[in-house]
Structure 1
């Protein structure tokens, strides 16, 4: 099997699975229970939070364990909107955000919030000056992703963070689900107030994640109940999930320098081969994150190519897994100004640290043969 759909999800690391199993078997008491057994679970949860904070170079109390990227994005966006609506109802974002951001904002529009959707250039990157010019007196939030999940485009979040610092009454949220472990970002030093991470994108488990909440940032919680996670996420904590997520964070942190360089080399090989393929258009910019390569094959249905590769146990995707079963057209490519024949025929190839050169070689040969076969059928 050749798995090249790592932006949708990654294979859990064996050490992460072991961590989850051991914690589930030994520390199954509720961390909120008053007895000593519950106290042991609470201590382990506190330790996991400290370790996560150390790995992310933030404060312990700034870590909120969540179920993943979608919950983190919703808590950040709706939490700010509902908590600070008395002093403003304007939010700034872009046309190329993940569905969990885009749909959350559309939901807020129904409640009367004003959302500014900024355009992007042909590479899928927003203009810093556009962000600056969009700020109003009633702006309470800027929400812009770090790395685009379809194209791999890197947004200028550090420059936007500097602008956000000049407006202390607004907050800056960054969806860093695709960026963590692939494109370095110093969360605490970049003017970011809220930052979303997801475990299953970094060889952790589905249902695990972190929302960084800068100290002093007030949020209206989505869940009410037992006031766990600093009153921001009520519900019995997923202790085994949190511990396994920290293991995933640590493993990624230990391998990221070598892993990023390795993926960048594979991405260069992909680009060199794809440029030579007739009828293939490369959508991912050259300065993109190292793990994503997005291409279009105008005139061919991407699901047919995916199926033909899948028969050979080679797995790629079309666009975000969260939107792949919706409209055929990629909203991201359309926002970049591409014609419809290109925006409806996109394929996403996404790498991991353990992807090999041999796998890329086999995949490229298979892709070339698949496209040639389809051309013969269509002629």
Structure 2
């Protein structure tokens, strides 16, 4: 199997697997005061410290959780609830139509409960003009939530500039940065964001582990109640082994990031050139975006059939976000940037990792040409 679905999940790194096994063998609860509990606590805090170091922040600002979906929901629902309790009425939220469903779903829920929600308008590659954000900010804007790197297009936003505009009006800014670590630079203080969400399985850590950054001096009320773990922000017994393994994986991924970025750039260019001979193929991804992602359309070919044909030929790709797989709906990201529903249904995402080889992308391109021919016949 040629695995070209790294944007969905990065296979767990060997160093992370070893770290997980080591920490999972510890019997204690990290909240316990006895020696076994404190041994587990040491691994938990080492994992947190590694994540904080990679993102250039204080470990006390890093909250361990289950991943990006939990983090996105926590920020949108927690911040808006606190704002509404303070002001006695719903306020205003700004986000985009190309966000992950973990942002869009709570945004639409808030909209159905009286909140005014502005969805910014993207260009053809999913970029957002800072001036549009400036013009959209209102006196009652409670939060801005815009991703850094798009999971389907690879488009990278100018997060520092966007954050600065929100900060000038005193509005908190949340960034879903799930697709960035290990490929793109993440500098949370430099960006100036208030909140940021991450998932460890995107950089080769374990699935079901993530992190929520809350800037020093800011508050975020819990959305679940029960215990005092994670400073009371996210109660529940922590996944010690998962957090430790996530930190180890991120340390190595960040150390290799420059080399990985260059490798992915070469792979992406090679793959794009190889698939350009397929009749009618068009590219949707941002040419200056994350080199991890290629998104393309083969008009007249059914996306589901393409994926099944590719799978039979030994290539794993996707039609978009793994969290929306099986919905049979056209990608909301692609329709937001102007693709018709038929073209969105005829589109695929290929995403690469450090272990992907030039031979693999060449083979995948030939398989795609065959799959397209079968799908169109």
Offset of residue 368 of structure 1: 1.2
Cross-structure match for 1:246: 247
Cross-structure match for 2:298: 297
Q: Does 1:281 align with 2:274?
A: no
Further displaced range: 296-305 or 275-284: 275-284
Cross-structure match for 2:115: 113
Offset of residue 114 of structure 1: 1.7
Q: Does 1:146 align with 2:148?
A: yes
Further displaced range: 343-352 or 178-187: 178-187
Offset of residue 307 of structure 1: 0.7
Question: 2:212 and 2:172 mapped to 1: Cα distance?
Answer: 14
The unaligned stretches of length 5 or more in structure 1 are none
8 Å contact kept, 1:164–1:191? no
Cross-structure match for 1:237: 238
Question: 2:214 and 2:151 mapped to 1: Cα distance?
Answer: 22
Tell me the alpha carbon deviations over residues 178-235 of structure 1, each in whole angstroms, 9 at most, x when there is no partner.
1222222311111201111101111111111111110111112111111110110000
Offset of residue 117 of structure 1: 0.9
Question: 1:41 and 1:138 mapped to 2: Cα distance?
Answer: 44
Further displaced range: 186-195 or 351-360: 186-195
Q: Does 1:166 align with 2:165?
A: no
Question: 1:308 and 1:340 mapped to 2: Cα distance?
Answer: 21
C-alpha distance 373-43 of structure 1, shift in aligned 2 (>3 A): closer
Offset of residue 112 of structure 1: 2.2
8 Å contact kept, 1:55–1:250? yes
Tell me the alpha carbon deviations over residues 290-345 of structure 1, each in whole angstroms, 9 at most, x when there is no partner.
00000111111111111111112211110111112224311111111122321121
Question: 1:22 and 1:42 mapped to 2: Cα distance?
Answer: 13
Further displaced range: 53-62 or 30-39: 30-39
SS of structure 2 residue aligned to 1:65: strand
1:32-43 alignment, distance < 5 Å: 32-43=31-42
Cross-structure match for 2:349: 348
Cross-structure match for 2:220: 219
1:85-234 alignment, distance < 5 Å: 85=84, 86-87=86-87, 89-168=91-170, 170-234=171-235
Cross-structure match for 1:16: 16
8 Å contact kept, 1:300–1:345? yes
Q: Does 1:367 align with 2:368?
A: yes
TM superposition score normalised by structure 1: 0.95
8 Å contact kept, 2:67–2:208? yes
Cross-structure match for 2:337: 336
1:17-96 alignment, distance < 5 Å: 17-26=17-26, 28-85=27-84, 86-87=86-87, 89-96=91-98
Offset of residue 110 of structure 1: 2.9
Offset of residue 355 of structure 1: 0.5
Further displaced range: 36-45 or 93-102: 36-45
Tell me the alpha carbon deviations over residues 323-374 of structure 1, each in whole angstroms, 9 at most, x when there is no partner.
1222431111111112232112110000011100000111111111222233
Question: 1:167 and 1:51 mapped to 2: Cα distance?
Answer: 33
Offset of residue 7 of structure 1: 0.8
Question: 1:105 and 1:302 mapped to 2: Cα distance?
Answer: 28
Q: CA RMSD in A?
A: 1.4
Question: 2:274 and 2:51 mapped to 1: Cα distance?
Answer: 39
8 Å contact kept, 2:23–2:240? yes
The unaligned stretches of length 5 or more in structure 2 are none
Question: 1:52 and 1:283 mapped to 2: Cα distance?
Answer: 32
Q: Does 1:318 align with 2:309?
A: no
SS of structure 2 residue aligned to 1:29: coil
Tell me the alpha carbon deviations over residues 125-184 of structure 1, each in whole angstroms, 9 at most, x when there is no partner.
11111111110011110000011111111122111011122122x210000111222222
Offset of residue 273 of structure 1: 2.2
What count of residue pairs does the alignment treat as equivalent? Answer: 374
TM superposition score normalised by structure 2: 0.96
8 Å contact kept, 2:261–2:291? yes
Question: 2:11 and 2:140 mapped to 1: Cα distance?
Answer: 43
Cross-structure match for 2:257: 256
